[in-house]
Structure 1
Amino acid sequence: MRFLKFFLWSCLTIFCGLLLSLSGAYLYLSPNLPSVDSLRSIQLQIPLRIYSNDDKLIAEYGEMRRNPIAFTDIPEDFIAALLAAEDDNFANHYGVEVSSLMRAATQILKSGHIQTGGSTITMQVAKNYFLTSERSFSRKINEILLALQIERELSKDEILELYVNKIYLGNRAYGIEAAAHVYYGKSIRELNLAQMAMIAGLPKAPSAFNPLANPQRAKERRDWILGRMYRLGRIDEARYQQALAELVDASYHGSSPELDAPYIAEMARAELVGRFGSAAYTDGFRVRTTVTSDRQIAANEALALGLIEYDQRHGYRGPEGHMSTTDRAAWLKELGNYRGQGNLAPAVVSAVSNDAIKALLRDGSEHSVSWDSMKWARPHINTNSLGPQPKAPSDVVKPGDVIRVQAVGEEFRFAQVPQAQGALVSLDPHDGSIEALSGGFSFGQSNYNRAIQAKRQPGSSFKPFIYSAALDAGYTPATLVNDSPIVFIEQGQDRIWRPKNDNNTFLGPIRLREALYKSRNLVSIRLLQTLGIPHTLEYIKRFGFKSEDLPPNLSLALGTATLTPMEIATGWTAFANGGYKIEPYLIERIEDRDGKVIFTANPARVPERTAASAETPDEGEAAAVSYAQNDTALIDHSAPDAERRYAEQIIDERTAYIMTSMLQDVIKRGTGRKALSMGRGDLAGKTGTTNESKDSWFSGYNADMVTTVWAGFDQPQSLGRREYGGTVALPIWMKYMSAVLDGAPEHAPAEPEGILTLRIDPRTGRAAAPGTPDAYFEVFRSEDSPPSMDGEMTPGSVLPDSPLPESEAAPMDLF
């Protein structure tokens, strides 16, 4: 009896000691425990996702890849698999499983160190949301106390939802929905039983049981979970055997974009970070841009192909490297050091024959490259000189050379990465939405966005702004201006400027229309001199250009301003939309993590377009982002009473119409004649080439779209003696516009009121008398109609030599 009493008192003492210890620990730790209520409103990290206007994923930014899922959307099979793997008594315990804790304690006593934590799913929720991964007794006690609180305040369904959305499952995947997409490219709801069991096996050790890194061990874990499900009665034997027979079919499905638009993605990312800071990467914003996938694809292809064609005209610069070894494994390892550039893949020449070569790619595949695709590869000497024409593949490459190949359908062609760069910007002239944009040949080659960052001289593509100023000042397309030599002498200095036309010829008195489509430099200079530099600068700034980018001298007439392709395209929209100033924007809509639209666009629109549409902004329109003035701040127009904004009219709509008519002649008769092959009558545009052909431009439009293309070297140098806007930039513009306008009806700007059409004598620029040879019809503003041959003027008409704002040009002498 004495022994029994001693034993009972000892047990009671131990129990009371444990109770007192636990009570003391609770009293000591409980004041520092976080509130479980915060779990109801906790914000999981969700990456920033950027989409095209037609909902194609462009890019995803964020450290954690996560797609939260509601409990009601979790398949029952997955819940069964997860509980079988992690906590089969989850439905019955109150947050802590005593037997599991005792098992963990026994392991500590036997081994001397922690092996398993004995944690339930509720305890793991407590650790994942509130605690660190430190292995200590104080953290474990905190975990237990928090688990008990969580079970008191949350339902089992809520606990499971928190768990499956938080856990790390390898390969940057957080949560089961993200893991399903990473390993299988599907939603968790689309997986079969074996695949769900594979995902359920990952929480224990995401690296050890990863089906990509260790498929055999992952399969063993999967099969163990399936066996547990069968023994627990969650699945029948038929489903168990069927799932066991499934092969491990996991493969990496990264967040690869559906649309290749990295320059667009970077512009949008920068805007979101500027607005929301680092929260842009974690708060689950979903951004819809204005670009459409078909137009962006066309822009990418047109720019890349145009730069490759230019590059191949100037010869082959040799292999990017050479591998002296013949070991294919060494070749493949070395190829891993070469990055893909656009659609040009690195390859090693594995064999050379008389009519083809064999090229080994990084994926281990080997392809034949025909001799026909190599005939362009004359040795490059310099920009203007090439070596002899190769007669066989062996004249171009040898085995072991590192080259580039371009996949075109089933065929692989010989290529090289272009050194010249380019940019393409396409805008809707009625509201400024960016339809497509490419800032270079390859974002991987350079993330420098030339479309919005490269300030270059536009050359003759700037002349329309000078001509527009002249038309608004009373000139007409029929006005005669002297295309003759001119020299400017700087007073008190020995400096002399003798501007000339590109072909060093002079045509004498020439109509303004003809001077534009023939791009006569001296006519532009005389216009600017007569209009006056201060007056013209003020006029041109209406188009959105900054004073510091416009030289205050006569060289402005030759396009010596420094402007980006985006700024040029923005200025040109006024000719396409009837004289209104718009500002480009990219962000059309921003949604928060719950799908609520938090920003909507309210761009200034051309009135005709706005009047024809709904009176209130569409719910799906988004925050406007202006790049025309380098204003990258996101504009909040989410207020329900936000009013539609109208664009400012900056030039007479009749001037815009006449400019379009004159620019259409650039394509019909002038430097843009190649575009006639497109078979459209609604296109207008202008080439531009700077001194020594360092910059090549083409800007053009119809009533629906304005597109500007620039090509040149990042470090300015000549494109070549015979390279101009019409040979480099124009073909790129044509490829893009042909693709996006394919099947679309012709749509030229409508003729406004106040336009007069008269027959004109081309030799005098005056109204033609009956029977005048070569007379043609010309368009005028009604108040600017020309005098008749007898000198009688119609009301409001202006003579070609009418006085205009006084010039401040330097003295000049005529030859």
Structure 2
Amino acid sequence: MLKRHSVLLFLVPVGIFFGILAGAFYSLIYDLPQINSLKQFKPSSVTTVFSSDNQILTRFYIEKRFPVSINKIPETLINALLTIEDRNFYSHWGINFKAIIRAIIHDIKAGKFKQGASTLTQQLAKTLFLTSEKSIVRKIKEAILALQIERRYTKDEILELYLNLIYLGSGAYGVEAASQTYFGKSVEDITLAQAALIAGLPKAPSVYSPIKNPDLAKKRRDIVLTQMLAAKKITPEEYNLTKSQKVILPSQKENQNQAGYFIEYIKAVLKKQFTLQDTYSKGFNIHTTLNLDLQSAANKSVLKRMTQLEIRMKKKGLDTSKVECALIAIDVKTGGILSMVGGKDFNKSVFNRAVQAQRQPGSAFKPLVYATAINQGFSQNDKLLDAPLSYHLDNNRTWQVNNFSKTYLGEITLRKALALSKNTPIVRLIEKIGTAKVIAFTKNAGVSSKLHANLSLALGTSEVTLIELTSSYIPFANMGIKVEPFSIQRITNSDSRIIFQTAVKKQSVMSRQNAAIMADMLKSVILEGTGKKAAVIQKDIAGKTGTTDNYKDALFVGFSPDIAVGVWVGNDDSTTLGKYETGAKAALPIWIDYMKHFLSNKSYQYFDIPDGTKMVYMDPNTGEISKTQTSHSIKALIKTKDLL
């Protein structure tokens, strides 16, 4: 009986001890994550944005990562990493008992939790499932997870996950991102020296980043090389040769700086299609419409011409701190945005004046009035009166319509009135056809900004954006067909499957004949009018200057058979650019530079001359048509029915 009582006294505390131990173990594993789905796990990866000529514009990411297969990771990098981080990786079960005992002894001597003794599998478990808290509990959980991972997955699968997940400094996650960040190349192409440098980063990525601390990065690299030599992973010759090499970082490309306004623009477009999480973490490839060569040409011209303008302004004693510029170029067949400049310097001002700023277009609005008239049956050889004009307004006010030149020519054709940008004829014209019809056509052509139904609308007093104004000229170059501007061609996912593709949106807003006549009338601006400077291009081009009161805004919007380009120059605070800083002087030179570059490698193309129209000799003053060319005649496109 006494013996039995003694056994019970022994078993009860033992049972209690093991119960407590089991409870403690259960509490440790109760909230551990399930690792069964690790094979389906896809880490956050980088979304890459490409130009239309397939150059990288920028990358979007939450974590800068480019997942790669272990087959693409060089053996030198794997050897370097395992040598410095986990030499027994291919032989242990996920934890290294010798290393743990050694770390415990070291921690006891140090009097605090200092050495980790984590295998790569434990590091992977911590990265995927746990925090960086330094505690015994976290280490036990880490070990349990490591054992589970090793039981379910092969060593190569574990290593591939680790190499794609590990943070390696300077915003780079995974070995491919590190290779591109530090060496400007794929991990497949790195040298032994570069592999050793990457392998040395996991211990303290921010400290050993070659961007932040190149000297420390080299010291750490050399430690890795020394360990590799000791482990006979490299020869003494390889060691000596590699150790003598300096750490060299590649020069950073500046494509993002070249297209900063465009990149911000497509971010806004993407927000309408995808969540921020998807855009920045799913590894999309975004193929845009922007042509980087044309964008570079636009940037160079803006820098050159704005510098010249600022010099002129300073000579007049004007403040240049607010002077800005915008350019937009659109493919007239598709609507693809080829170039976008939203200001002089994206780093100083992210406000995009090409798409966000609403400014008065001045005389650059006039073609939309003439187009409405042509749609209503007017011909370009019809005549308008160019003479002093005034209107009595409410409260005994008077609106005096003046020409910029302060001179008047009497009766002149629509063509000449447009070419010379006369004000009095077009105000008389809009009075005849009605503001409602002009607004209806302009809205149909692509302008969505509010337009005020008064006669001064003909002079461009209603504010619009540059992208609206430029796109409204597209029907003149495109057989009467409007196309909606867009910036993203298609988006593919990490499996190269198309998940989004832009469909070209077209709409006919005027007949092919009327569009051809408008293109011909706008050619007169360059051949015979305010845009003569552009004649230096010597190709089929057309466009219109625009200048607002007191030289606050200077514009030129024009096109060829392929492209429509709009340029605006002005001060952000709407103060004057200075006397005589017209559209022809301040904006047109940028347009000429850009169009010269665009057309330089293109064969000569002509504007459309459709059936039902005929090129004739016409007197621009009287509108009279002659069978042969005279000293006063010019060539003009007329509908054949108007010749009867």
Normalized against structure 1, the TM-score is what?
A: 0.74
1:136 paired to 2:39 = no
**Partner Cα distance (1:122, 1:761) in 2:** 87
Q: Which amino acid aligns with 1:189?
A: E
1:228-279 deviation line (CA, Å, top 9, x unaligned): 32333322333233333x3331437667537711001111122223432321
Alpha-carbon distance in structure 2 between the residues aligned to 1:17 and 1:51: 66
> In the TM superposition, what is the alpha-carbon distance from 1:33 to its structure 2 partner?
1.5
Cα drift, residue 773 of structure 1? 8.0
- Are the counterparts in 2 of residues 307 and 418 from structure 1 also a CA contact under 8 Å? no
Instruction: Say yes or no: does 1:569 pair with 2:470.
Output: yes
Structure 2 residue aligned with 1:485: 388
What is the distance in 1 between the residues matched to 2:152 and 2:358? Answer: 61
Of 292, 317, 323, which aligns to 1:381? Answer: 317
Matched, 1:592 2:493: yes
Match of 1:472 among 353, 366, 375: 375
The CA distance in 1 between the partners of 2:139 and 2:252, in whole Å, is 36
Q: Distance in 1 between matches of 2:20 and 2:90?
A: 29
Letter in 2 for 1:60: R
Instruction: Tell me what 1:721 maps to.
Output: 579
What's the CA shift string for 1:300-351, capped at 9, x where partnerless? 1112211111111122xxxxxxxxxxxxxxxxxxxxxxxxxxxxxxxxxxxx
Residue 676 of structure 1 aligns with an amino acid whose one-letter code is A
Query: Which one of 590, 601, 604 corresponds to residue 743 of structure 1?
Result: 601
Aligned to 1:529: 431
Count of residue correspondences:
634
1:699 and 2:557 correspond:
yes
Deviation at 1:772? 8.7
What amino acid is aligned across from residue 662 of structure 1 in structure 2? M
Q: Which amino acid aligns with 1:704?
A: D
Please name the residue that 2:548 is paired with.
690
Residue range with higher mean Cα deviation, 141-150 or 61-70: 61-70
1:561 partner letter:
S
Identify the range of structure 1 (215-224 vs 506-515) with the bigger mean alpha-carbon deviation.
215-224
Distance 1:81 1:561 in 2: 67
Q: How does 1:347-746 map to 2 (within 5 A)?
A: 381-382=317-318, 419-490=322-393, 493-546=395-448, 549-604=450-505, 647-680=506-539, 682-746=540-604
| Per-residue deviation, 1:759 | 4.8
Which amino acid in 1 is paired with 2:348?
Q
Question: Judging changes above 3 Å, is the alpha-carbon distance between structure 1 residues 284 and 552 closer, same or farther for their aligned structure 2 residues?
Answer: same
Corresponding position of 2:3:
none
Mapped to 1, the partners of 2:591 and 2:429 lie a distance apart of: 29
8 Å contact from structure 2 (residues 257, 346) kept in 1: no
Aligned with 1:117: secondary structure?
coil
Query: After the TM superposition, which of the residue ranges 761-770 and 666-675 deviates more from structure 2?
Result: 761-770
Q: Say which SS state the counterpart of residue 281 (structure 1) adopts.
A: helix
Question: How far apart, CA to CA, are the structure 2 residues paired with 1:180 and 1:190?
Answer: 9
Alignment of 1:777-792 (within 5 A): 777-785=635-643
**For the residues of structure 2 that align with 1:254 and 1:755, how far apart are their CA atoms?**
55
Q: Where in structure 2 are there 5+ consecutive unaligned residues?
A: 1-9
CA distance in 2 between partners of 1:53 and 1:467 (Å): 35
- Aligned residue for 1:711, secondary structure, equals strand
Unaligned runs of 5+ in 1: 1-9, 316-377, 384-416, 605-646, 786-793, 795-815
What is the SS of the residue equivalent to 2:403? coil
Cα distance, 1:760 vs structure 2: 4.5
RMSD: 2.6
Give the superposition deviation at 1:697.
0.6
Partner secondary structure for residue 546 of structure 2: strand
Matches of 1:205 and 1:286, distance apart in 2: 31
In structure 1, C-alpha distance between the alignment counterparts of 2:629 and 2:205, rounded to whole Å: 90
Contact 1:182 1:254 in 2 (8 A): no
Structure 2 Cα separation of the partners of residues 102 and 673 of structure 1: 86
What fraction of aligned residue pairs are identical, expressed as a percent?
A: 37
SS in 2 for 1:509: strand
Give the residue type in structure 1 aligned to 2:224.
I
Q: 1:36 to 1:507 in 2, by over 3 A?
A: same
- Does the residue aligned with 2:354 lie in a helix, a strand or coil? helix
Structure 2 CA distance for partners of 1:107 and 1:676, relative to 1, 3 Å: same
**Equivalent position amino acid for 2:222 in 1:** D
Tell me, yes or no, if the aligned pair for 1:259 and 1:293 is still in contact at 8 Å: no
Return the letter of the residue paired with 2:203. K
Q: Does the C-alpha gap of structure 1 residues 767 and 232 become closer, same or farther in structure 2, counting only changes over 3 Å?
A: closer
Give TM-score, length-normalised by structure 2: 0.93
Counterparts in 2 of 1:127 and 1:463: CA distance versus 1, 3 Å: same
| 8 Å CA contact 1:181, 1:253 repeated in 2 | no
Asked if structure 2 preserves the Cα contact closer than 8 Å seen for 1:311 and 1:419, the reply is no
Name the counterpart of 1:271: 269
| Helix, strand or coil at the partner of 1:382 | coil
* One-letter amino acid matched to 1:264: F
Provide the residue aligned with 2:185 in structure 1: 186
